[in-house]
Amino acid sequence: MPRILVINPNSSAACSAGIDAAVAPFRTPGGPGIDVLSVLDGPPAILSWRDWHAAVEPMCRLAEREAADAIVIACASDPGLEAMRALLGCPVLGVFRCAVAVAITRAERFGVVAIVDASIGRHALTLRSMGLEPRLAGEVALNVSMDALLDPAAVRGRLIDAACRLVRDGAGAVVLGCTGMAGHRAAVEQAAGVPVIEPCQAGVAMARLVLLG
């Protein structure tokens, strides 16, 4: 059976548990196995560029130790995507790119909710490389910690407010710009009234399609 390896580049076990719950519906009889692993020697969260770079080498070492038919990098800043693709012979997908690809199938313009301001610059570089920056309706940063984001209630109201603001600004779909937001997707979608894309679900869905090809 093919194996999809979902790598959380940060060391947060709680974040990985949220990712695992988000992708659980994709574990189907006869389908590929889906395993979620944390980079135990990675940073506790990918907030700064320093965190982004610090995650790459330990993530590469983990990927080298694991046999996988496809790898999904479970961080919405897609750290180390190019390094992993150069290192490995299997498909490597970044969840932010996958989420944006899903968003533009659902709406002409989309918005992004980021965990911190620094994420916005990283997302902008990715959107520019994809040629999709003109379709961004806006991006809002919450500027909260990973621990706060993983709390079922602490920031849900702020997430909903951010998504609704993006809808008012013209977004027909909203991308959750951090994998720590996975547990909030359904509530945010219900409140915002537009499709809300969870990046790890988008990444695993695309990995399944790649393996079918």
Reading the block at residue 7, the tokens are 């790598």
Residues of the chain by 3-state class (helix, strand, coil), percent to 5: 55, 15, 30
Residue whose entry in the numeric block shows the structure tokens 């690809």: 101
Distance CA 201, CA 51 (A): 23
How many CB atoms lie under 10 A from the CB of residue 54?
19
Tokens found for residue 120: 């916005």
46: phi then psi, degrees, rounded to nearest 5: -100, 90
Structure tokens at 203: 């990444």
Domain with CATH 3.40.50.12500 in the chain: 3-94+201-212
Task: Classify 3-94+201-212 by CATH class.
Answer: alpha beta
Which tokens belong to 182? 């996975």
Order of strands across the sheet that contains 196-197: 136-141, 110-114, 173-177, 196-197
Fold category of 96-199 in CATH: Rossmann fold (3.40.50)
CB 210 within 8 A of CB 185: no
Q: Cite the residue boundaries of each domain of the chain with CATH code 3.40.50.1860.
A: 96-199
Reading the chain (213 residues) residue by residue, the pLDDT tens digits are 899 999 999 999 999 999 999 999 999 999 999 999 999 999 999 999 999 999 999 999 999 999 999 999 999 999 999 999 999 999 999 999 999 999 999 999 999 999 999 999 999 999 999 999 999 999 999 999 898 888 888 899 999 999 999 999 999 999 999 999 999 999 999 999 999 999 999 999 999 999 986
* pLDDT for the residue numbered 163: 98
Strand-pair partners of 34: 4
